[in-house]
Amino acid sequence: MADEILTGEGVALQISAASVLARAGAWLIDALVTGLVVLGLPVLLISVIGADRFDEAMATALVSALLVIVFLITPITVETLSRGRSLGKLAFGLQVLRDDGGPIRLRHASVRALVGVFELWLLFGGLAFVTSMLNDRGKRVGDYLAGTYVVRMRGVRGTVPPLWFPPELAGWAQLTDIRPLPGGLALRARLFLSRAHEFPPPVRYRNALRLAAQLERFVAPDPPVGTHPERFIAAVLFERRRREQDAFSRARPRVEAHLVGIEDLPYGVPDPES
């Protein structure tokens, strides 16, 4: 199945769930690197510290710390900082995303790593392979619990459709005060409008209501009674952009006038470089 995500530059990227074989190949690369670390790090520590200084208690503590670092701390840190791209996933062009298409965070990476100890390492990937074969997005148990899935980027598909303005809200928009919108809210609203036609009608209307309620906190007065929430969202975004463009157009002559003599020295002092 294919989805779309919207980048910060307003470009829609077509993505599809990674195949089970691609995920298995990425995990094998990660497992190989992990195995080299598990086998090589103790040897390195023993050679540095000295084998005669290791007793049973120290060896047990070393093994326990090594297992926690390799199987929990390292994958959590790597997936959090790289936004879901381990070494194996980089090799296969894969990335972990949230179910809504957003980047994963510490909570998602932690759940995936904790469950992965059981389903990937203790069961040698068997449970993860079977679970991934039983759903369209190739999810393992850790993905279900974390609300994530692994995708394969296909590249740029196209730009976002242009904004549009509902004509019946023209009079209301002229008298409306629109406060600055948080960047995340404006982006979510823009993404919703570009993909609204892909949602089933009940989901589309519910998402529109939720976004409209969030936008209403930054708009006064409220839209006319009976306004469809999706048309309200479109009007707010369109009017917001129009006002920003008008403000830039009004300020441009003043900026250009200030820039005319910016390189001239005051009091008639000649420019030594001229």
Please give the pLDDT value at position 10: 45
State residue 126's pLDDT score: 86
* Blockwise average pLDDT, block size 10, the chain, 274 residues: 51 70 91 86 73 71 85 92 90 86 87 92 87 88 92 60 88 90 83 85 91 93 92 93 87 73 58 56
Residue 203: count other Cβ atoms within 10 Å of its Cβ: 11
Max Cα-Cα span within the chain:
86
Q: Whole-model pTM?
A: 0.54
Predicted pLDDT at 1: 52
